[in-house]
Amino acid sequence: MQPELNTINIAPTSTHTYSVIWLHGLGADGHDFESIVPSLNLTAEANIHFIFPNAPIKSVTINNHMKMRAWYDILAISLEDHTVDIAGIYQSAELVNQLIQKEIDKGILAKNILLAGFSQGGVIALHVGLRYPQKMAGVLALSTYLPTIAQLSYEASIPSKTTPIFMAHGILDAVVAIEAGKSTFDKLSALGYSIEWHDYLMEHSVCGEEIGHISVFMNSIFV
């Protein structure tokens, strides 16, 4: 078993009922989305355990092999897609599965655990959420896509078909092209997943309008 991820945590201030595991993007860390929590205006915030893991430090090929926090290596970039280290995605997915299990061991049901991720983190959130053997609370996939979508034909779990998925992307994104995100959405929609799409006039980032839509999505789940 791989070493556990270290995490930034915001503990619930009341009864622990729900958990959110939020994965950062390439080169960031667990603090990246920590400050977003108050802006989400979640009615159940007091009952939510927020977990912001730090990705392992890896050498990233497209960044001149510099070492940084990364969920997997990126080998090359094309217009609509990236050539990525698929094995690295599976390794990070296993680390996230360990975090999910820790919450389940505390008595939190899988259907009350939400996965969220931005960019690389969104890849892992989608990858894990669509393969998890139980229905999860939801998946937030922000400015991202799914390089392992082909493998879903034999790896997807049946319960995940009913896990609600929120995909959002910036129209001006020059890091992960919106075409890659929209292609993932279209394919998952065709496969019958419960999924919604939002796009915004922004680059590879998060905007206020998007945070508002995330709030609606999460408040519809954590009631």
The one catalytic residue in 16, 198, 204, 213 is: 204
Q: Count H helices, E strands: the chain?
A: 5, 11
Catalytic pick among 32, 73, 85, 173: 173
Instruction: State the distance between the two ends of the chain, measured CA to CA, in whole angstroms.
Output: 35
From the list 121, 123, 103, the residue with the least C-alpha distance to 113 is: 103
Q: How far is CA 114 from the centre of its chain?
A: 9
Catalytic site includes residue 204 = yes
Active-site pick, 119, 127, 160, 169: 119
- Is 213 annotated in the active site? no
Phi-psi region of 198 (alpha: psi -120 to 50; beta: other; left: phi over 0): beta
Residue 169 among the catalytic residues:
no
Beta bridge partner(s), residue 219 = none
Residue 220 main-chain phi, psi, to 5 deg: -75, -20
Active site residues: 119, 173, 204
